[in-house]
Structure 1
Amino acid sequence: MNPPDSLDDVTPAWLSRVLSARGPQVAVTDGRTDRLIDGTAAKARLVLTYRDPDAAAAAGLPTRMWIKGGYGHESTKILPTGAYAVEARFYRDIAHRLTVTVPACYFAACDEETMQGAVLIEDLDLRGVTFCHAPRPLRVDQAAEVLDLLASLHAFWWESPELDKVPWLRAPVEPGGSADAYIGRFSAADLDRYLALPRAQAAPAGVTGDRVLTALRALQQRVTAPPRCLLHGDTHLGNLYLGADGRPGLLDWQTVWRGNWAHDVTYFLVSALDVADRRAAERDLLRHYLDRLAAHGVAAPRFADAWDDYRRYVAYGLFIWVINPVEAQPEEVNIPNITRFTTAADDLETFAALGI
């Protein structure tokens, strides 16, 4: 079954069909949109009325859920990257096998020709979760709990042959991939223009467009090297939530990759903590993550090697946030992340760690 061509095609008949596909037959008599968010993907919150509410409840179907897919203003730019298809494949093929906390999914499908993908996922507001947000950095103890989650995710297929059985899994910014083509759109002069904007005024002088781009190109030569594991790929605060019990969960699985653990851990720690807390706690937090990996039965990297990879992988988030457009994230999100990554690159001597 393919995803709908547009949000206009998300009709009661379509909802009845897809929600009945994996369980008891249910009939949706009304499905109206009461909220629409247009970002990297379009997300529409649906309020559903069922012919038999008790039967729907017994089947585990709520009266509110979100449909997410490539139906927004930015979608024509994002479709060629495969991001919408990747998220649908993740929920369809992998999510149910993991122990990490993710939203419940009621439908996931992608069109392999157009690379369109759509998912129907739970409305987490009904669970009373708190959505994380870049202007509100996490406490160090909260960051440690997210690292517990990442260790569980990474340990699942750590150096596993299963990684090579999933044909759509690629390494982050792997040369020749769709993300590599996106990077190729930017020159060092482009990055210098971004760094000259008021939003990057806190960037240290040593962070230049040429060094940012050269660092990312150097990192690209490492992304397929072992150890490899399953990655979320986009672990900034906007894709994290905390349950009523404080337990963290991960949203937005559009960049699921196979690659080095440091991609997720570095991107998370640098974006999630304010600069002072990161400087004070990052070594202890990295040791905590490695200990949790070992507790899952993984032969965790030595701390010295892990520290070097942590320093290097700052290069990915540095590039991403310097060039991140306001159409993807508002400046209240871009500014703290640009500050955190440019400062971390300077603190951790990321350029030197990559031989620049």
Structure 2
Amino acid sequence: MSQVLERPRPAQPQVTVPATLEQALDPQWLAGALGKIAAGRAIAQVEEVEVIRTVATKVRFAVTFEDGQRLGFCLKGLLDVDAMTARGGPTCVLESDFYNKVAPVIAVRVPDCVATVIDREAHQAVTIMRDLIADGARFCSALDPFTADDALESLRQLSLLHARSDFLDGADWIRPRAAELAKMSYVTPEALQDLLDGPRGDNLSPRVRSAANLAAAIRELAARDGGRPQFMIHGDAHAGNVFRTPEGMGVIDWQLLQRGGWALDVAYHLNAVLPTEVAEVEERRLLGEYLSMMRGHGMDMPSEADAWMQYREGVTYGYYLWSITRRVDPPIIVQFVDRLGKAVMRHDSFGLLGAA
């Protein structure tokens, strides 16, 4: 079993979940949210450093306490969103639960979370972390190409997560995401075909660009995956969810934490972070390295041949995930659909799954 880091659990202050950026940076609200760190000190100043808006908002800010101490933080949540976007609140609750329950018992390098504010009845939450950038870390861009050596290091972090899959016993709140995606409740087949007919599918074969084929493939993948040993997996491990520190890489964004086959994470990760021409050459070697890591953690893994088959099927998960994505910058969507779609073509994933 992999080594477990000694990481303190975040505070869970009983304050209201903020709905706007203004509320989140209000000194009075922060005094309550950061009560454990404030230790009775008043907040003299709050300085907004950077705001990054995707579906969720990440705001970097600095707090100066009355005694002059200045600390940097990053708050993540659904701020200033419409009613449709607010329906994604359960993923924010899931991420807060990751930091409360999972992060303290795994050796994966993650941000230091100081507090989570959760409203379970309203299905909303925000997570407050130390500002990694202020501490010297650098976040990768979603479009940053990894080298094979980079991918080996990031795979090592994923292996540390997967090796603690014993945590899933009794953790029913960590759900099988691939099975839920297969229900097609996120997008209709017609809407999916419209998306694939756009620029994201320009370099893909008609067979792989077919929404009907993709829908059939994800259903079959979910069925097969559900019958295999279940691992605790990240679910969205592209380069934009990786950061670098002098000590090595770390992983952020735990809103798609799930249970599923290890290959869903590994096949998605390698084909999202590596340029296609690098993945073609290096992926089988990197898969072998990952299997060795997992066996070194004491995990029972399939043979090389069976693992390769699961990997070839598993890339369908990442391809489907990005094919249905809409609320991300178009260049990022096009890049990932292209890389993952080409991997589906290269591995004949649809053929293996009997989808076409």
TM-score by length of 1: 0.89
Q: Distance in 2 between matches of 1:195 and 1:64?
A: 42
Q: Distance in 2 between matches of 1:78 and 1:287?
A: 41
Q: Distance in 1 between matches of 2:168 and 2:291?
A: 21
Q: 1:81 to 1:226 in 2, by over 3 A?
A: farther
The structural deviation recorded for 1:200 is 2.2
Number of the residue aligned with 2:6: none
Q: Choose which of 103, 118, 127 in structure 1 pairs with 2:111.
A: 103
Letter of the 1:258 partner, please give it: R
The structural deviation recorded for 1:33 is 2.6
Number of the residue aligned with 2:9: none
Q: 1:301 to 1:27 in 2, by over 3 A?
A: farther
Q: Secondary structure at the match of 2:129?
A: strand
The structural deviation recorded for 1:191 is 2.3
Q: 1:120 to 1:75 in 2, by over 3 A?
A: farther
Contact 1:134 1:337 in 2 (8 A): no
Number of the residue aligned with 1:334: 333
Number of the residue aligned with 2:246: 244
Q: Secondary structure at the match of 2:177?
A: coil
Q: Distance in 2 between matches of 1:81 and 1:15?
A: 21
Number of the residue aligned with 2:228: 226
**Residues 34-76 of structure 1: CA distance to partner in whole angstroms, max 9, x if unpaired?**
322221211222221111235xxxxxxx622111112243673
Q: Choose which of 116, 125, 134 in structure 2 pairs with 1:117.
A: 125
Contact 1:46 1:65 in 2 (8 A): yes
**Residues 246-302 of structure 1: CA distance to partner in whole angstroms, max 9, x if unpaired?**
x11101111111221111111100101011110101110000000000111111221
Q: Secondary structure at the match of 1:37?
A: strand
Number of the residue aligned with 1:59: none
The structural deviation recorded for 1:97 is 1.5
Q: Secondary structure at the match of 2:178?
A: coil
Contact 2:175 2:259 in 1 (8 A): yes
Q: 1:94 to 1:85 in 2, by over 3 A?
A: same
Q: 1:333 to 1:9 in 2, by over 3 A?
A: same
Number of the residue aligned with 1:73: 81
Number of the residue aligned with 2:100: 92
Letter of the 2:105 partner, please give it: R
Q: Distance in 2 between matches of 1:184 and 1:300?
A: 32
**Identical positions, percent:** 29
Letter of the 2:330 partner, please give it: E
Q: Distance in 2 between matches of 1:225 and 1:335?
A: 32
Q: Which has the larger displacement, 106-115 or 190-199?
A: 190-199
Letter of the 1:211 partner, please give it: N
Q: CA RMSD in A?
A: 2.0
Q: Choose which of 168, 181, 186 in structure 2 pairs with 1:163.
A: 168
Q: Distance in 2 between matches of 1:87 and 1:180?
A: 22
Number of the residue aligned with 1:306: 307
Letter of the 2:275 partner, please give it: D
The structural deviation recorded for 1:3 is 4.6
Q: Distance in 2 between matches of 1:275 and 1:316?
A: 17
Number of the residue aligned with 2:28: 13
Q: Secondary structure at the match of 1:45?
A: strand
The yes-or-no answer on 1:190 pairing with 2:191 is: yes
The structural deviation recorded for 1:242 is 1.5
The structural deviation recorded for 1:22 is 6.8
Q: 1:226 to 1:190 in 2, by over 3 A?
A: same
Aligned residue pairs: how many? Answer: 339
Runs of at least 5 residues in structure 1 that lack an aligned partner in the other structure? 55-61
Q: Secondary structure at the match of 1:68?
A: strand
**Residues 105-125 of structure 1: CA distance to partner in whole angstroms, max 9, x if unpaired?**
111132111110111112221
Q: 1:42 to 1:81 in 2, by over 3 A?
A: closer
Number of the residue aligned with 1:39: 54
Q: 1:257 to 1:81 in 2, by over 3 A?
A: farther
Q: 1:279 to 1:318 in 2, by over 3 A?
A: same
Matches within 5 A, 1:278-289: 278-289=279-290
Q: 1:3 to 1:143 in 2, by over 3 A?
A: farther
The structural deviation recorded for 1:310 is 0.9
Q: Distance in 1 between matches of 2:205 and 2:182?
A: 26
TM-score by length of 2: 0.89
Number of the residue aligned with 2:211: 209
Contact 2:200 2:334 in 1 (8 A): yes
Q: Distance in 1 between matches of 2:195 and 2:42?
A: 51
Q: Distance in 2 between matches of 1:34 and 1:273?
A: 31
Letter of the 1:151 partner, please give it: S
Runs of at least 5 residues in structure 2 that lack an aligned partner in the other structure? 1-13
The structural deviation recorded for 1:214 is 1.1
Q: Choose which of 42, 59, 62 in structure 2 pairs with 1:27.
A: 42
Q: Distance in 2 between matches of 1:335 and 1:251?
A: 22
Q: Secondary structure at the match of 1:126?
A: coil
Q: Distance in 2 between matches of 1:110 and 1:301?
A: 39
Contact 2:313 2:349 in 1 (8 A): yes
**Residues 89-132 of structure 1: CA distance to partner in whole angstroms, max 9, x if unpaired?**
11112212211110111111321111101111122211332322
**Residues 141-176 of structure 1: CA distance to partner in whole angstroms, max 9, x if unpaired?**
11011111111111012xx2x31322311012334x
The yes-or-no answer on 1:344 pairing with 2:343 is: yes
Q: Distance in 2 between matches of 1:168 and 1:28?
A: 36
